[in-house]
Amino acid sequence: MKAEALSTGKLLLIFKQLIMKNLYTTLLLSLFSLSISAQCNHPDFDALLAIYNSLDGPNWVFNGGWVEGAAGTDCEPCDWDYVNCNTQNRVKSVSFSNIGLKGFIPSEVGDLEFLESISFNFSDLSGSTIPDEIYNLTNLKRLSIRDSDVEGTISPLIGNLTQLEELDFAQNELEGSIPSEIGNLTKLKEFFANQNDLTGTIPASLKNCSQMEWVELTFNKLTGVAIDDLGGLENAVEFDIGYNEIVGSLPEAFGNFIDLRYLGLNSNNFSGCIPNSYVKLCGQPVNFSENSELSNENFENFCDTYEGSCMPVGTFNYAPLAIELVNTIAIDQLLLNGALENVSFNIIDINGRILQRGVIQGNGIPLDFDSKGMFFINMTTENQMCTKKFMKK
């Protein structure tokens, strides 16, 4: 028993010595870091060193300058890999992509006050969240944390980044709702948050982002679109909210997205009839398939037959124009059976670009564009509509 007690005592002594040694080592490292900071007086040095230490800098694919900075032998971060500086020698951008980042984004990132662009793409940030301090970077134009397994929510503090033009949080583990403060980002052109676990509705404030060109929110758990007036987003070229759980009717305002290259509404729970405004999108890539409660899940079929339209058929003849034209569409060629008063029209090409618009006059429609090929003419009155195809030689 005495031998056991002595053995246990020795073990405790050894353990105590190890603890003291670790504390001593930690203290030395802390003093070493303080010493380096004292040697290097660049105003952005400490924040960059915190990024290096928090994201496993020694094991990055390339870490030129960072290693030397951590050792105190290179105090000019403007020459380091992934770093660019402005004319005042302050850090303007830090761009990491698929270089082996692992760990967490430190709060010190918020000290890079002149930063305009930062990305942490294709990294291993699992278990970590986006630090609130990143939203202090009011000069940011680009913020990208793509495919990095970051968790948590999109903070309402996102509204502080009023200069932001590109926001990319795609392919992470973010949850919660899209904050209404995103509407403060009036310069935003690209917003990617696809493949997360976002819930709730797409906020009405999004319409304030009048310069928006690209929205991708696919593969989330969104349940609604809080906006029917999307007037501010009419310049969007791609708007994709497919593969969610959105319920209700199709927003009529989507029909005003005449510059679209793609409108994705597929694989949701939309229901009801197809808004009349969608006629203006005929000839463009629109997908609202896999919405079993919609009156017509096939957009091409809707454009050909108007089956499922919210508007009664009325008196227009829906047969396509089986003629070839040169310069003018005559009234009799339009094959309209109803009255011709206040019939507005637009002509679009197969890419959805509007080439001509106006009101049909008694002598027909003189074509004022030189393009040749197949086109669509959309004609509407207050309670009727139709689209016809025609060829121009």
pLDDT tier at 226, thresholds 50, 70, 90: low
Give me the domains of the chain, ranges plus CATH numbers. 34-305 (3.80.10.10), 324-392 (2.60.40.3080)
Please state which of the ranges 130-144, 145-159, 280-294 shows the lowest mean pLDDT: 280-294
Asked if the model's pLDDT at residue 30 lies above 50, the reply is no
- Residue pair 144/123 in contact (Cβ under 8 Å)? The answer is no
The C-alpha atoms of residue 75 and residue 44 are separated, in whole angstroms, by 10
- Could you report the per-residue pLDDT of 331-349, keeping only the tens digit for each? 777 766 555 667 888 888 7
- Could you report the per-residue pLDDT of 177-212, keeping only the tens digit for each? 999 999 999 999 999 999 999 999 999 899 899 999
The DSSP 8-state label assigned to residue 159 in this structure reads G
Asked if the model's pLDDT at residue 351 lies above 70, the reply is no
The β-bridge partners of 364 are 361
pLDDT average, residue stretch 102-106? 97
Asked if the model's pLDDT at residue 276 lies above 90, the reply is no
Asked if the model's pLDDT at residue 109 lies above 70, the reply is yes
pLDDT at 23: 43
Asked if the model's pLDDT at residue 136 lies above 80, the reply is yes
pLDDT tier at 10, thresholds 50, 70, 90: low
Q: What is the pTM of this model?
A: 0.76
pLDDT at 4: 45
The C-alpha atoms of residue 296 and residue 306 are separated, in whole angstroms, by 9
Closest Cα partner for 286 from 357, 344, 348, 204? Answer: 348
Tokens read off for 288? 């609202």
pLDDT tier at 257, thresholds 50, 70, 90: confident
The C-alpha atoms of residue 306 and residue 290 are separated, in whole angstroms, by 18
**Maximum pairwise Cα distance, the chain:** 117
Task: Provide the residue type at 265 as one letter.
Answer: L
Asked if the model's pLDDT at residue 313 lies above 50, the reply is no
Please state which of the ranges 38-47, 90-99, 137-146, 353-362 shows the lowest mean pLDDT: 353-362
Tokens read off for 334? 């339009």
Region class of 212: left (phi > 0), else alpha (psi between -120 and 50), else beta: beta
Closest Cα partner for 136 from 220, 73, 47? Answer: 47
More confident residue, 311 or 54: 54
**Average of per-residue pLDDT values in the chain:** 84
pLDDT average, residue stretch 343-362? 80
Closest Cα partner for 342 from 358, 365, 318? Answer: 358
* Sign of the CA dihedral with 57 first, then 58, 64, and 68 last: positive
pLDDT average, residue stretch 119-144? 97
pLDDT average, residue stretch 31-52? 77
The DSSP 8-state label assigned to residue 178 in this structure reads P
The C-alpha atoms of residue 3 and residue 281 are separated, in whole angstroms, by 89
pLDDT average, residue stretch 265-273? 94
pLDDT at 259: 80
The C-alpha atoms of residue 365 and residue 363 are separated, in whole angstroms, by 7
Asked if the model's pLDDT at residue 170 lies above 60, the reply is yes
The C-alpha atoms of residue 299 and residue 301 are separated, in whole angstroms, by 5
- Residue pair 101/144 in contact (Cβ under 8 Å)? The answer is no
pLDDT tier at 308, thresholds 50, 70, 90: confident
Asked if the model's pLDDT at residue 258 lies above 90, the reply is no
The C-alpha atoms of residue 22 and residue 238 are separated, in whole angstroms, by 55
- Could you report the per-residue pLDDT of 66-98, keeping only the tens digit for each? 999 999 999 999 999 999 999 999 999 999 999
Tokens read off for 133? 């301090």
More confident residue, 238 or 233: 238
Tokens read off for 247? 């319920």
- Residue pair 127/151 in contact (Cβ under 8 Å)? The answer is yes
The C-alpha atoms of residue 193 and residue 183 are separated, in whole angstroms, by 15
Quick one: how many helices (H) and strands (E) in the chain? Answer: 4, 23
Helical H segments across the chain, by residue range: 2-39, 45-54, 66-71, 299-305
